[in-house]
Amino acid sequence: MIKRHILYLLLILLYIPDMVKGQSITITPKWTAQAQFTGYYVADKMGFYKEEGLDVRIVHPAISESSFSVLQSGKAQVAVMNLSFALTERASGAKIINVMQTSQENSLMLVSRQPLTDLAALKQKDIAVWNHLSQNLLDRIATRYQLSGKWIRFNSGVNIFLAGAVDICLVGSYNEYLQLEEYGLQPNSTYLLHFSDYGYDLPEDGLYVTENFYHAHSEIIPKLVRASIKGWEWANEHREEALDIVMEFVRNNNIGTNRYHQRKMLEELLRLQVDKSCNKRTFHLSPEDFKLASDILLNEQEREDIHYSDFVK
């Protein structure tokens, strides 16, 4: 009888690790460590993922790779991606699904050394763009807005513009534009072209998984989303504490930056997360924004093939 109890106890001890260990998930942000991904850092650091029974690792991609390529390779189960990038990749055959949308407003703008009065000012102009943007996406934008110049690739920062290597550069309101201001450059509004002013007001960052992962682990997705939203909401309510967590991730990833810049970035990101139509953070991609993105980026056949209910869960 005693031996049987001992055997039973040993069996329990053997199974305990599997019982307490959370579902292992790797999230890959779309860039190096910075306040752009605060909500996920907070959810990890504050234990929100663990509360949902998830064992989450946040692994940043190398500068030479995209979060999409990491997701496709299977090295990550979840990736932060831009809506326009994800939708055009879906149109090209990638079976990816949007499970959460943080951004609700577009941050993109062009900064120039000469006045940009309208889109006609971009005709036959070379434009510097981030290296991680797919050529497929850039070609679609060029076709949509009848741009005939060349895309000049660069990795990050604003040095390519400050050095005079290019006349027009793509920047984001939450990062590169802030860097230009920190360098003392205050371009007149006539030297800036906001994409949103020309109909390209597409939400940006969201969380994506592959279709296979979604169907194989559908019970995990609500847990992941709940914890991530909790992380972003906590960050909004405790901004300085959230910055402490951001700076810890920054240091651990050996990123050269400072708290001032990360604070300004977080403030702008939180502003961009608010849906103007309801003045709330919905964390969801609306049918209206999906249609706008589809109308701008997809051809007629692709619009018929890609349905909102298949792309957004």
* Complete domains list, the chain, with CATH: 15-105+203-311 (3.40.190.10), 108-198 (3.40.190.10)
User: In this predicted structure, which of 4-13, 77-86, 200-209, 216-225 has the lowest mean pLDDT?
Assistant: 4-13
Looking at residue 156, what is its pLDDT? Answer: 84
Looking at residue 287, what is its pLDDT? Answer: 97
Per-residue pLDDT band for 254 (boundaries 50, 70, 90) equals very high
7 pLDDT more than 50: no
12 pLDDT more than 50: no
d(CA 263, CA 187): 22
Per-residue pLDDT band for 249 (boundaries 50, 70, 90) equals very high
Q: Where are the alpha helices (DSSP H) in the chain?
A: 2-20, 38-45, 48-51, 67-73, 83-91, 135-144, 159-162, 176-182, 211-216, 220-237, 239-252, 259-272, 287-297, 300-305, 308-311
Q: Is 290 exposed, middle or buried (0-12, 13-18, 19+ CB in 10 A)?
A: buried
Per-residue pLDDT band for 22 (boundaries 50, 70, 90) equals low
Phi and psi at residue 246, to the nearest 5°: -60, -50
Find the mean pLDDT for residues 186-192: 83
Find the mean pLDDT for residues 253-264: 95
d(CA 67, CA 30): 5
Looking at residue 13, what is its pLDDT? Answer: 41
d(CA 203, CA 199): 12
Looking at residue 137, what is its pLDDT? Answer: 82
Percent with pLDDT over 70 in the chain? 93
In 3-state terms the chain splits into helix, strand, coil percentages (rounded to 5) of 50, 15, 35
Q: Which helix (H) or strand (E) holds 130?
A: strand 127-130
Looking at residue 4, what is its pLDDT? Answer: 52
d(CA 289, CA 134): 21
More confident residue, 107 or 14: 107
SS3 21: coil
11 pLDDT more than 60: no
- Torsion sign (Cα): 153, 156, 160, 162: positive
Per-residue pLDDT band for 145 (boundaries 50, 70, 90) equals confident
CB 256 within 8 A of CB 63: no
Find the mean pLDDT for residues 227-250: 98
More confident residue, 25 or 188: 25
52 pLDDT more than 60: yes
d(CA 33, CA 138): 25
| pLDDT tens profile 211-238 | 999 999 999 999 999 999 999 999 999 9
Model confidence, pTM: 0.89
Instruction: Kindly calculate the radius of gyration of the chain based on its CA atoms and give it in whole angstroms.
Output: 22
d(CA 14, CA 303): 52
3 pLDDT more than 60: no
| pLDDT tens profile 152-186 | 998 888 899 999 999 899 999 999 999 999 988 88
Percent with pLDDT over 90 in the chain? 70
CB 280 within 8 A of CB 194: no
